């Protein structure tokens, strides 16, 4: 598809810092200044959301950067209302850049008389006038099929692989990737393959949501620097228990790489007092001051990845090429100078 005018970015209030970082990276990649479209996204006294765009967007290729993180409902409504505003302002194409897709954990009926909220949200996004979705690490890959529009699902694992090769460059032979449950084996295997590391699994059994009854390590982690990889860290209860179990099983160190740091409730306190030496999350969700202040929590940038993905969508070129190291490494050269393979 031929490029439509210039790519223009607009942001809600969910993660404006990430939106600004994406704009800066796009400016670097293109060699031309890219700014966020000037707009008001605010609330009336009764908390109704109001959007007003202060620039002409007629015929423009618009990208809305808005994760649907906490508060999920407010941020989702901001996304939908911004999309409706752009559609009624005659934007040529509207792409929703949703770094973290909320409601993704409700992708099936877990028991009788429960909703499939991820499908409902997909329907709402499609009906709002959005024509394409760009997201990262959907909780369940099949959610892409809930949409009747194109969905590009990026992955954090290539970034994590670069980060691991940088921070563990002197002891890569001791690294072992660990999946915190059987369902996450494919994700863990992908990362393990990228860094040429062995794989272990923590088998957990839940009595009810939010509680883990029993956990067992499948694989020998003795003397290994274990890296737990998962897509979401919410209250960190399961993650902390898995770290304790790995330590008790003989692991030399335990680290975790998580795509989306939801970090709700007691999560930060649990992580800081846990057996984990470090927790690495992306900035798909704007980190809270508590997260940024935690000594063993580190945030890696996704702006270079999203900026290039937006440019590829705008220019009609491959997005999946960003999964390959030769394409991704130049985007993160300043982050990991001197250690990229």
Containing 120, the helix (H) or strand (E) segment is helix 117-127
What DSSP assignment string belongs to 11-54?
A: E-SS-HHHHHHHHHHHHHHHTS---BPPEEEEE-TT--EEEEE-
How far apart are the C-alpha atoms of 160 and 208, rounded to whole Å?
31
3-class SS of residue 319 = coil
What is the distance, to the nearest Å, from the Cα of residue 226 to the centroid of all Cα atoms in its chain? 22
With beta carbons less than 8 A apart as the criterion, state whether 71 and 86 touch: no
Is 204 one of the annotated active-site residues of the chain?
yes
What strands, in cross-sheet order, belong to the sheet with 278-282? 211-218, 199-208, 175-179, 225-233, 253-261, 278-282, 297-300
Q: Which of 8, 33, 193, 204 is catalytic?
A: 204
How are beta strands 132-136 and 93-98 bridged, if at all? parallel
Report d(CA 171, CA 102) in Å as an integer.
Answer: 36
Spatial neighbors of 223 by CB under 8 A, at least 6 apart, are 174, 250, 251, 252
User: What are the E-state strand segments in the chain?
Assistant: 7-11, 39-43, 49-53, 61-65, 93-98, 132-136, 151-154, 175-179, 199-208, 211-218, 225-233, 253-261, 278-282, 297-300
Spatial contact of 25 and 303, defined as CB atoms under 8 Å apart = yes
CB 100 within 8 A of CB 49: no
For the annotated catalytic residues, the residue numbers are 204
């Amino acid at each position: 598809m031929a490029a439509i005018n210039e790519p223009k970015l607009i942001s809600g209030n969910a993660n404006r810092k990430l939106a600004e970082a994406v704009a800066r990276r796009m400016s670097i990649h293109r060699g031309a200044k890219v700014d966020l479209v000037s707009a008001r996204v605010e609330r009336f006294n009764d908390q109704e959301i109001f959007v007003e765009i202060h620039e002409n967007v007629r015929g423009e290729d618009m990208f809305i950067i808005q994760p649907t993180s906490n508060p999920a409902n407010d941020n989702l409504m901001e996304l939908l209302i911004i999309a409706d505003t752009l559609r009624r302002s005659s934007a040529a194409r509207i792409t929703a850049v949703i770094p973290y897709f909320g409601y993704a954990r409700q992708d099936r009926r877990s028991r009788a008389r429960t909703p499939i909220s991820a499908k409902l949200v997909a329907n709402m996004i499609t009906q709002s006038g959005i024509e394409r979705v760009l997201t990262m690490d959907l909780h369940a890959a099949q959610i892409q099929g809930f949409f009747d529009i194109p969905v590009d699902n990026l992955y954090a694992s290539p970034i994590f692989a670069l980060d691991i090769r940088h921070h563990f460059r002197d002891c890569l032979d001791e690294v072992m990737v660990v999946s915190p449950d059987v369902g996450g084996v494919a994700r863990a295997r992908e990362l393990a393959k990228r860094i040429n590391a062995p794989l272990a699994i923590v088998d957990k059994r839940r009595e009810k949501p939010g509680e883990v009854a029993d956990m067992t390590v499948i694989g020998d982690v003795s003397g290994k620097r274990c890296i737990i990889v998962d897509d979401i860290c919410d209250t960190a209860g399961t993650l902390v228990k898995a770290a304790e179990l790995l330590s008790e099983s003989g692991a030399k160190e335990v680290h975790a790489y998580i795509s989306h740091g939801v970090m709700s409730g007691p999560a930060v306190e649990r992580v800081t007092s846990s057996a984990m030496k470090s927790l690495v999350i992306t900035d798909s969700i704007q980190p809270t001051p508590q997260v940024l202040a935690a000594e063993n929590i580190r945030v890696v940038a996704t702006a270079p990845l999203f900026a290039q993905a937006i440019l590829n969508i705008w220019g009609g070129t491959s997005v999946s090429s960003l999964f390959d190291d030769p394409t991704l490494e130049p985007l993160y050269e300043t982050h990991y100078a001197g250690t990229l393979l």
